[in-house]
Amino acid sequence: MKEKLTLDEKIRLVTGSDWWRTVAVEEKGLSSVFMSDGPHGLRVQIDSGDHLGLNKSINTVCYPAESIISSSFNKELLFKYGEVIGKEALSLSVDMLLGPGVNIKRNPKCGRNFEYYAEDPVVSGKLGSEFIKGLQSVGVSACVKHFVCNNTENKRNYSDSRVNERTLREVYLKPFEICVKEAHPDALMCSYNLVNGTYMSENKRLLTDILKKEWRYSGIVVSDWGAVKSRSVSLRSGLDLEMPYSECSYNDVKKALEDGSLRESDLDKAVERMISFIKKSEEKRSKRTLYSFSRDEAREYSREVVSESVVLLKNKENFFPLKREEKLLIVGEVAKKPHYQGGGSAHIDNDSVLSFCDILKERNINFDYKEGYILEKNTTEDVDPSSYDKVLFVVGNKKSDESEGFDRDTLSLPECVNTLLENTLKKCKSSGLLIFTGGVVTLPFEKNCNGVMYAGLPGEYGCEGVVDVVMGDVSPSGKLTETWIKKEEDATTYLSCISNEKTVEYNEGVFVGYKYYESKNIKPLFEFGHGLSYTKFKYSNAKIEKENDNFKITFKIKNIGKMDGKETAFLFVTYPLTSEPRSYKSLLDFTKVSLKTGEEKEVMFLIKKEDLTVYNEDGKEYIPFGEYTFTLSSSLSSSEAVLKGEIDGKRDEVTLFTLVDDIWNDKERRQILEEIVIKKLLVAFRMNEIPEDKKKIILSLPLYSLCGLAKGVISEEDKKLLLERLNEV
């Protein structure tokens, strides 16, 4: 097909025709592909365009943000999300949705965290995959973004993320790798920033060598809007489509082809991918007639997913659920003017929004209301809570605080909100907080309230799901996908993000989020995986079976409480000791189970050997050999069952410089060492065994020193045989 195109057509095909469309070459049978932002709704702009949410777009449904629906930990619901939004996209003739965002929430202040799933790569990768599969199942292409290490918004256009190879592989590339390998997105968007000194739009190593060659990714790579510096260099590096249109790219490519700095074969590679992408889109369009979009379905979906995602963080004296017969005061502007979505390219123009108070009224729940604070004016009013059984403070950030393009200045709630809480909480008989934010906030007054519930940014209909949980129609089952720290300075990224430098040093390495706090035994305010329920679950019968180095872990969960509910079970792994430092626990998988009161179900995790892959400091992958500890748990620090399993993975190569200690800890190798070296040395020293008080110092020796301990006892042949045998196992 590419042969049919002229050089001129080929050059035009690899840059957008306007803000949202690819170039059509109609005489050659190539139509234009139309795209729209996501991920929380469709920002469809027909005649205008921008990438910051400045111009009007068609009114569409504003769905709950990724940062809250991820708390559902429900893979099926993420698939369904893809289907629902996909059907709306089809109804507006959108071929490709620009989402999901699977960047790691490295920095709790990142302005765009509401667009991302989690601080953990497995959660981000698996939930992102399900969304992509759901979306593509109805015939809309997904464009997973922003590849990679775009974990801060401040200076995103020129900030350089300095990250070591192992951390890059184990943490930041991983969610993309999972999405590419499990869900095969039709497109992937490269980010604005640089990684280790090279702009992502020009990063051949990441775009071509790793993404396309190593992972065998077959879709197109699209630039983030305006992320291309030089079209010819980006083409050479593996960037297939530049978006949006550009005034100067054509001439740049033409000139580079003429002066030989760009080969036509590099252009052709992008053209080939573009052609198959366009053809695929054309084929998908045939599905438009198969599905119809219903706003009622979108509303029902939003309610369902939010009711599964709201996280009950604290519930002293059963503050939640609120009861109809209680004398209730609701305080807070956000209860009537909801903070329900973030800003920037994810901003959705929608018809109307249902507030928390609207839904309470709709359901005939009696309550009094006080505004308490006004966010825009930063003012607080006096509230007398003394005559109420319960007071619920509905709090949130200002709309303009959480957006693409810049980071949050602070993790504190707005000043007027904190003043209200400081003045009023202590006067309440019983009080609770209901928090509407895109991510972590610090809660200095948490000790003074009985209940805390996190509602995220629930979208235009999501408050229905929030009320379901607040009033006890649904038992909460959301759990945190991000650690809530006690104060800003506790963030692992605090030091690397306070400077004005253009470089961001990823100093904490693989110890991102809970991996840091858990390994250092630091108790945050609310840990990763934390989330309370109105009912109770019991885990039992945990078993592990090994089949060809894959593990099957089965267990039972029973609802032993008084209410139907859902439970997310986590499977964490603790690796055997490796040469590189590892976090004490890393998440391997998670599953969500729905259980009626008294009901019990058997649950299974299948862990393939490859799921245990890690990287060494040079970025080489391997599966550590030795004993693995698998912890089944209901949150990060709870432990419902601990199971052990051995992996016959790759052992490090032994040389005469290897430490005796490393061999001693490996049963099979130790036997060989004892047989060939230790026995002879013991004879030479007239000893029966190594004296206990000398053991540590002997184990600290390198092999060559051990062999030389007694002159002439260990021959060159012995050493040769020793190395041969040790490296055979």
Alpha-carbon distances, residue 406 vs 79, 191, 248, 263 (angstroms): 30, 15, 28, 38
Smallest gap, in angstroms, from Cβ of residue 497 to ligand BGC? Answer: 19
Which lies closer to ligand BGC via its Cβ, residue 33 or residue 357? 33
Q: Does 224 bind ligand BGC (CB under 6 A)?
A: yes
Smallest gap, in angstroms, from Cβ of residue 508 to ligand BGC? Answer: 25
Q: Does 249 bind ligand BGC (CB under 6 A)?
A: no
Q: Is 563 exposed, middle or buried (0-12, 13-18, 19+ CB in 10 A)?
A: middle
Burial per residue of 600-614, b for 16 or more beta-carbon CB atoms within 10 angstroms, e otherwise: eeebebebeeebbeb
- Residues 694-713 interacting with ligand BGC (rule: CB under 6 A): none
Which lies closer to ligand BGC via its Cβ, residue 180 or residue 360? 180
Distance CA 47, CA 347 (A): 18
Nearest to 566 by CA among 528, 593, 599, 536: 593
Tokens for 333? 């502007």
Write the DSSP symbol of residue 471: T
Smallest gap, in angstroms, from Cβ of residue 89 to ligand BGC? Answer: 14
- The two beta strands, 311-315 and 451-454, are antiparallel
Tokens for 664? 């001693």
Torsion of CA 461, 463, 464, 468, to 10 degrees: 150
For 105-248, where are the alpha helices, taking DSSP H only?
121-137, 165-167, 174-183, 204, 231-237
CA angle 629, 77, 290 (to 5 degrees): 135
Binding mask 93-112 for ligand BGC (x = CB under 6 A): -----x--------------
- Residues 377-416 interacting with ligand BGC (rule: CB under 6 A): 404
Taking CB under 6 A as the criterion, the residue among 21, 37, 64, 148 binding ligand BGC is 37
Which lies closer to ligand BGC via its Cβ, residue 116 or residue 291? 116
Consecutive H or E run containing 96: strand 96-98
Which lies closer to ligand BGC via its Cβ, residue 160 or residue 224? 224
Q: Does 145 bind ligand BGC (CB under 6 A)?
A: yes
Helix (H, G, I), strand (E, B), or coil: what is residue 68? helix
- Residues 342-371 interacting with ligand BGC (rule: CB under 6 A): 345
Which lies closer to ligand BGC via its Cβ, residue 45 or residue 70? 45
Which lies closer to ligand BGC via its Cβ, residue 153 or residue 666? 153
Distance CA 466, CA 343 (A): 22
Query: Would you say the C-alpha torsion 359, 361, 366, 368 has a positive or negative sign?
Result: positive
Q: Are 105 and 514 in contact (CB under 8 A)?
A: no
For 286-414, where are the alpha helices, taking DSSP H only?
295-307, 356-362
Smallest gap, in angstroms, from Cβ of residue 400 to ligand BGC? Answer: 17
Where are the extended beta strands (E) located within 4-57?
35-37
Residue 682's φ and ψ, nearest 5 degrees, are -60, -40
Burial per residue of 516-534, b for 16 or more beta-carbon CB atoms within 10 angstroms, e otherwise: bbbeeeeebbbbbbbbbbb
Helix (H, G, I), strand (E, B), or coil: what is residue 15? strand
Which lies closer to ligand BGC via its Cβ, residue 21 or residue 166? 21
Smallest gap, in angstroms, from Cβ of residue 95 to ligand BGC? Answer: 14
Taking CB under 6 A as the criterion, the residue among 79, 225, 514, 516 binding ligand BGC is 225
Q: Does 201 bind ligand BGC (CB under 6 A)?
A: no
Taking CB under 6 A as the criterion, the residue among 51, 105, 236, 347 binding ligand BGC is 51
Helix (H, G, I), strand (E, B), or coil: what is residue 141? strand
Smallest gap, in angstroms, from Cβ of residue 101 to ligand BGC? Answer: 7
Residue 392 makes CB contacts below 8 A (sequence gap 6+) with: 322, 328, 329, 330, 331, 431, 432, 433, 434, 470
Smallest gap, in angstroms, from Cβ of residue 347 to ligand BGC? Answer: 10
Smallest gap, in angstroms, from Cβ of residue 51 to ligand BGC? Answer: 3
- Residues 618-647 interacting with ligand BGC (rule: CB under 6 A): none
Tokens for 654? 């032994």
Smallest gap, in angstroms, from Cβ of residue 19 to ligand BGC? Answer: 8
- The two beta strands, 503-505 and 160-162, are parallel
Which lies closer to ligand BGC via its Cβ, residue 20 or residue 73? 20
Which lies closer to ligand BGC via its Cβ, residue 43 or residue 314? 43
Q: Does 572 bind ligand BGC (CB under 6 A)?
A: no
Smallest gap, in angstroms, from Cβ of residue 552 to ligand BGC? Answer: 39
Which lies closer to ligand BGC via its Cβ, residue 64 or residue 100? 100
Consecutive H or E run containing 175: helix 174-183
Distance CA 179, CA 136 (A): 13
Distance CA 66, CA 55 (A): 23
Which lies closer to ligand BGC via its Cβ, residue 53 or residue 624? 53
Is 224 annotated in the active site? yes
Which lies closer to ligand BGC via its Cβ, residue 66 or residue 508? 66
Distance CA 63, CA 458 (A): 7
Which lies closer to ligand BGC via its Cβ, residue 277 or residue 373? 277
Tokens for 656? 């005469």
Alpha-carbon distances, residue 273 vs 34, 217, 218 (angstroms): 17, 11, 8
Distance CA 674, CA 679 (A): 6
Nearest to 100 by CA among 77, 117, 118, 76: 117
Query: Active site residue: 186, 224, 401, 407, which one?
Result: 224
Compute how many residues bind ligand BGC; rule: CB under 6 A. 8
Distance CA 492, CA 443 (A): 18
Q: Does 193 bind ligand BGC (CB under 6 A)?
A: no
Q: Are 151 and 110 in contact (CB under 8 A)?
A: yes
Smallest gap, in angstroms, from Cβ of residue 206 to ligand BGC? Answer: 17
Q: Does 527 bind ligand BGC (CB under 6 A)?
A: no
- Residues 499-518 interacting with ligand BGC (rule: CB under 6 A): none
Distance CA 617, CA 238 (A): 26
Residue 662 makes CB contacts below 8 A (sequence gap 6+) with: 652, 654
Smallest gap, in angstroms, from Cβ of residue 656 to ligand BGC? Answer: 53
Smallest gap, in angstroms, from Cβ of residue 436 to ligand BGC? Answer: 23
Catalytic site residues?
224
Interface residues with ligand BGC (CB under 6 A) are: 37, 51, 98, 145, 224-225, 345, 404
